[in-house]
Amino acid sequence: MEIMKKGPWSLDEDSKLIHSISLLGHGRWESLAHFAGLKRSGKSCRMRWLNYLRPNLRRGKITPQEQLLILLLHFRFGNRWAEIAKNLPGRSDNDVKNYWRTKVQKHAKELHCDVNSQQFRNFLLYQWLPSLLAQQIPCSSSSSSSSSMTISNITCPINVSVSSTEAELVTEPVLIDDSNIWNNLSSFEHGFNISDFSTPADQYYCQNYWASGTSEMLPDETLCLDDMDLWLFP
DNA sequence: AACTACCTCAACCGCGATAGC
DNA sequence: AGCTATCGCGGTTGAGGTAGT
């Protein structure tokens, strides 16, 4: 039984793996590892390729746009990181998972609530998401968007105790379209005309897929927002 | 400069699903 | 149908980096 190497990958191992994949393609990881002459498990090779070596991976910090998508998609998919990552081109499930763990769970901890609690969901919905939206939407009349937005404050319907760091985030005026959060979601991105999308669900998916380059829309789904929760159902 | 606490993210592990025999 | 190998996913860990004191 051959002893498998563990731990960080060397440049030499990376280049061997890349070279082998260029010849054989990815998949069949066990035989690929063997072909490459790597003393690594197929599993380790797969992980290295998907999370680090594959082309078009985005490095660096998660952008506010990506944060917004992660939060929204987590409402829908829960901890199904791979599903969420499919909507974030260039990001791996590991990236999404790490973001959730290091940022979102940290916020929940600071608020002294469970990350899956209604209190924290409300915090996300009424404080964090609008905050991210405010970063996306230039709140000035020079916006090139053809939609005319009425901007007003939205208030959180629950009392949320915040730490000093949290207060820094939530004491910013939360600016959001007064009637429909989804108008904002779709209007902050360029490349399409908001009036092309008549329903909130269409607007959501329009925004959702902006970066993927695919025009794939998930059909026949409805999304609605009420005071208590966010629902997305077939 | 040295130490400590905290953060980030690459990598591993375990488990369930699936494919092939 | 049952077994085994492999894959894919989510949970978790820990090394290295950075900020604070």
Number of C-beta neighbours around residue A20 at 10 A: 20
Question: 3-class DSSP state for residue A126?
Answer: helix
pLDDT 10s digits, A12-43: 999 999 999 988 888 889 889 888 988 898 99
pLDDT beyond 70 at A155 = no
Of residues A106 and A169, the one with the higher pLDDT is: A106
The pLDDT value given to residue A47: 92
Which nucleotides of chain C have an atom under 7 angstroms from any protein CB?
5-13
Which nucleotides of chain B have an atom under 7 angstroms from any protein CB?
7-14
Ranges of H-type helices in A145-199: 164-170, 181-187
Q: What is the mean pLDDT of residues A57-74?
A: 85
Closest residue (CA to C1') to nucleotide B19 in the complex: A28
d(CA A119, CA A98): 22
The pLDDT value given to residue A77: 86
pLDDT beyond 70 at A74 = yes
Of residues A97 and A122, the one with the higher pLDDT is: A97
Of the pLDDT bands very low, low, confident and very high (cuts 50, 70, 90), residue A1 is low
Q: Of A78-82, A151-155, A181-185, where does mean pLDDT reach its minimum?
A: A151-155
Q: What is the mean pLDDT of residues A108-112?
A: 81
d(CA A69, CA A84): 8
Closest residue (CA to C1') to nucleotide C5 in the complex: A30
Q: What is the mean pLDDT of residues A74-79?
A: 85
The spacing between the Cα labelled CA in A148 and the C1' in C10, in angstroms, equals: 43
Q: What is the mean pLDDT of residues A119-128?
A: 80
The spacing between the Cα labelled CA in A216 and the C1' in C17, in angstroms, equals: 40
Pick from A38, A6, A1, A2: which is nearest to A19 by CA?
Answer: A38
d(CA A92, CA A86): 8
A7: the nucleotide nearest its CA (via C1') is B11
How far, rounded to the nearest angstrom, does the alpha carbon of residue A58 sit from its chain's CA centroid? 13
d(CA A47, CA A6): 12
Pick from A103, A98, A93: which is nearest to A131 by CA?
Answer: A103
Q: Which two tokens stand for residue A120?
A: 């924290």
Of the pLDDT bands very low, low, confident and very high (cuts 50, 70, 90), residue A137 is low
**Mean per-residue pLDDT over chain A, rounded:** 64
